[in-house]
Amino acid sequence: MKWWSMGVLGLALLYVVSGFLPPSTHREWHELGSLPVLHLGRVKPIDSVARSTLLGFKGNQSLKGSDTHTPTEWLFKVMSVGTDDMNLFMVRQSEVLNALNQNPESKPALSFKTLLPHLTMIDESAQHAQSKPAAMRSLADREWLRLRQNVVVYTQLKNTLKPEGVPSFSLYTQRYIRLLPPFRTLVASHMAGQSTLSPEMAELLLYFKQFQHIAEASAFRVAPPDTPNGVWKTLGDAYLILLKEEQTHPLAPVVSTVMASIEAHDQPNLAQSIASWNAIVTDLVPSGTWHAKLEYTVNRADVMIKITVLYGVVVAMCLMGWLMNRPTWWQLAQRLGWLTWVIHSLAIGVRMWLVGRPPVTNLYTSAVFVGWVAIVLGLYIERRSRLGLGTMVSGMIGVITLIIAHHLSLQGDTMEMMQAVLDSNFWLSTHVITICMGYGAVFLAGALANIGVIRLVTGSFSGEQRASLSRMIYGVLAAGLVLSFIGTVLGGIWADQSWGRFWGWDPKENGAFIICVWVAAILHARWGGMIKDRGLWVMSIFGNIVTAFSWFGVNMLGVGLHSYGFMDQAFFWLMVFNASQLVMMWLAFWPKAFSK
C-alpha cells in the first residue's frame, strides 16, 4: 500500500474515532447525560431521554434558540427552571395553527405559554381524533394527538424531579427529611388521641401530597432498584419510602441537590452532586450504568452519520477513477469501502450487545442491516471482478440505506421494547435476518443494473464488461432467490409454530412472495433465452421497485387514502425512488445504447 493510501485510511479512521474523545466543554452535562434512568420501559441514559423528547417536540434534535449546549442541559432546563417561553412545540398543520390563533406562515414552533389558553381545546380535539379508527384520522387529527402528547410529556417533565413551581427544592426536601424522624412518634401520639393535628404534621401531609403528585406525574423513573427484587422508582416514590423505612432512597437527596444547584447556577456543587449520583447508580446497577454509558457514547459519537459520509467518499473516489481513468482511485475506494464496512459492522455489533437482540428488531435496524449485507456482497464482487463497479455500488447503497435509516431514526427511540408477538430472539435471528439478506441481494443486483445502464448511456462499456456485469447480476440474483425463499419459508415456519398456520396472505408475507416470484421470473426468462443483457438489467431494476414495496410499501398501505405524518413523507420518497427506477428502465431501451 502506498503511503498516501495509508494516509487516507488513517484520516478516515481518525474522523470516526474523534467522536469518541472525551468532551472538552460542558463536562457536567455530558456526565449527567450518561447516567441511567428507566424511561418507557427501558433503562437508558438521560441523554437518550432528552434526545427522544426533543425529537417528539420539534421533529429534530436541534438545540437552536434554547440557549443550551447539550440535549441533557436542555432537558434539565425544562425540568428545573422551566421553559414556558421557549418555542418548543412544532406544529405543522395549518388547520391546527389556525385553531390556535397562530399565523400558519410565521412561527416555526410554539411555546407552552402560547398553548396555555388553548389546553382544553387541544385535549378535546385530540379526544375527537382518538375516537376515530387509526386509519381514518386526518393529518390534522394526528397533529392534535401529537400536540396533546407533547403537552402531556412537557407537563410530566416539569413534575418529574420536583413539583412544578416549588423553588429551592433541596431545602424543601431537607426539611421533609428532618421532620420525618419525629413523624412516627407524632403519628403514634395522634393515634392515641393525645394530641390534635400538630402544625408539623400538617406540613408533612402537604409534603406527602406533593411527593405523591410527582410520583404519579413523573416522565421517567430515576431511582434504580436498591434491593435484589426491587423496581425502578420515581423520585416521589423514592421520598415516600420514608413512610415505611428509616431512610429515603440514597439517590433522592442527591437528585434534589442537582436540581437546586442548577437553579442556583452553582457549578462546583452541581459537579460534586453529579459525581455522587454516578457513584450511587454504579453501586446499585453496575451493568445498567455501563449500558447507559455505552449508549450515551454511541449517541454522542454520531457513528452512523460518519459512516454515511465515508461511503459517500467511496462513491466520489470511484467516480474520480472513471473520469480520470485511473484504477488506483478504485483500489483506494475499495480499501476505504472495506474499512468503513468494518466500522459499520462494529456499530451493529455494539447495538446488538446493548439491546441484547439480533441485529434487526425494527424498520430502522433493517435499513442499517440490509445496507450492510448489500455492501459486503458488492465489495466481495469487486474482489473478483475489479471493474470498480462493486465498490461504487456498495458506496451508493451505503449512502442511500443509511440516509433512510437516519430518517427512520427520527421517529423516536430506535431501541424500543419488542411487542410480545415479536419477542423471540430465535426467529428474529433466523427468519428476519435471512429475509433482510434477501432484500440486500436483490437491491444489489438492481443497483448493479443501474450502474450498467448509466455506463451504457455514457458509452463507456465494452462488450466483455457488459457480459461480466450480467454474470455478476445473475449470481447475485441467484443468491437473492435462495435467501428470500429460505427467509420466507422460515417466516412460514414461525407462523406455523406460533399460530398453527404456515401462510396467511398477510401483506408482509405477500411482499416476500412477490420478491421470490419476480426473481424466479427473471432467472427463468434468462434460462429460456427470452432476455439478454438488457432484459436482465431492466428486470433487475424493476426488482428494486418490487423489493422496496415489500420492505417499506406494505408498511405504508392505506397511506394514499388517509395520511400518516412520517410515512406520508416516506411514501413520497418511495414514489420518487420508483419513478427514478422506471426512468432507468426506459433509459436502458435508449436505441443508441445497445447498438454500440
- Which residues would be at the binding site for other proteins (CB under 8 A)? 38-42, 220-221, 231-232, 384, 416-421, 423-424, 427, 471, 475, 478-479, 481-482, 485-486, 489, 492-493, 496-507, 510-511, 513-514, 517-518, 520-521, 524-525, 527-528, 530, 546, 549, 554, 557-558, 561
In three-state secondary structure terms, 357 is coil
Rg over CA atoms, the chain: 29
What DSSP string describes 142-165?
HHHHHHHHHHHHHHHHHTTSS-TT
Cβ nearer to other proteins, comparing 98 with 498: 498
d(CA 514, CA 537): 18
The least CB distance from residue 404 to other proteins, in Å, is 22
Q: Which residue is it, cell 408533612?
A: 204
The least CB distance from residue 137 to other proteins, in Å, is 15
Judge contact between 26 and 47, C-beta under 8 A: no
The least CB distance from residue 554 to other proteins, in Å, is 7
The least CB distance from residue 132 to other proteins, in Å, is 14
The separation between CA 586 and the C-alpha centre of its own chain, rounded to angstroms, equals 36
User: Alpha-carbon dihedral of residues 54, 58, 59, 63, nearest 10 degrees?
Assistant: -60
**Phi, psi for residue 582 in degrees, rounded to 5:** -65, -40
What DSSP string describes 413-437?
-TTPPPPGGG--HHHIIIIIHHHHH
CB atoms near residue 185 (< 10 Å): 9
Q: In terms of Cα–Cα distance, which of 272, 273, 274, 223 is closest to 249?
A: 223
Cβ nearer to other proteins, comparing 400 with 495: 495
Q: Which residue is it, cell 393515634?
A: 191
The least CB distance from residue 260 to other proteins, in Å, is 26
The least CB distance from residue 217 to other proteins, in Å, is 12
**Residue 316 cell numbers, joined:** 466520489
The least CB distance from residue 231 to other proteins, in Å, is 8
Q: In terms of Cα–Cα distance, which of 459, 460, 512 is closest to 489?
A: 512
d(CA 8, CA 335): 10
d(CA 8, CA 295): 29
Q: What is the 3-state secondary structure (H, E, C) of 83-102?
A: CCCCEEEECCCHHHHHHCCC
CB atoms near residue 543 (< 10 Å): 25
The least CB distance from residue 412 to other proteins, in Å, is 12
Cα→Cα distances 594→84, 168, 470, Å: 65, 79, 14
Cβ nearer to other proteins, comparing 139 with 514: 514
Residue 561 DSSP code: T
The least CB distance from residue 182 to other proteins, in Å, is 35
Q: In terms of Cα–Cα distance, which of 43, 72, 64, 47 is closest to 270?
A: 72
User: Alpha-carbon dihedral of residues 329, 331, 337, 339, nearest 10 degrees?
Assistant: -120
d(CA 375, CA 405): 15
Cβ nearer to other proteins, comparing 183 with 474: 474
Cβ nearer to other proteins, comparing 296 with 427: 427
| Rounded (10°) angle between helices 251-264 and 169-179 | 150
Cβ nearer to other proteins, comparing 323 with 420: 420
The least CB distance from residue 551 to other proteins, in Å, is 13
The least CB distance from residue 399 to other proteins, in Å, is 29
The least CB distance from residue 507 to other proteins, in Å, is 5
The least CB distance from residue 130 to other proteins, in Å, is 13
d(CA 492, CA 345): 29
Cβ nearer to other proteins, comparing 94 with 362: 362
What DSSP string describes 473-542?
HHHHHHHHHHHHHHHHHHHHHHHHHHHS-S----HHHHHHHHHHHHHHHHHHHHHTTS--HHHHHHHHHH
Cβ nearer to other proteins, comparing 306 with 526: 526
Judge contact between 388 and 395, C-beta under 8 A: no
Residue 412 DSSP code: S
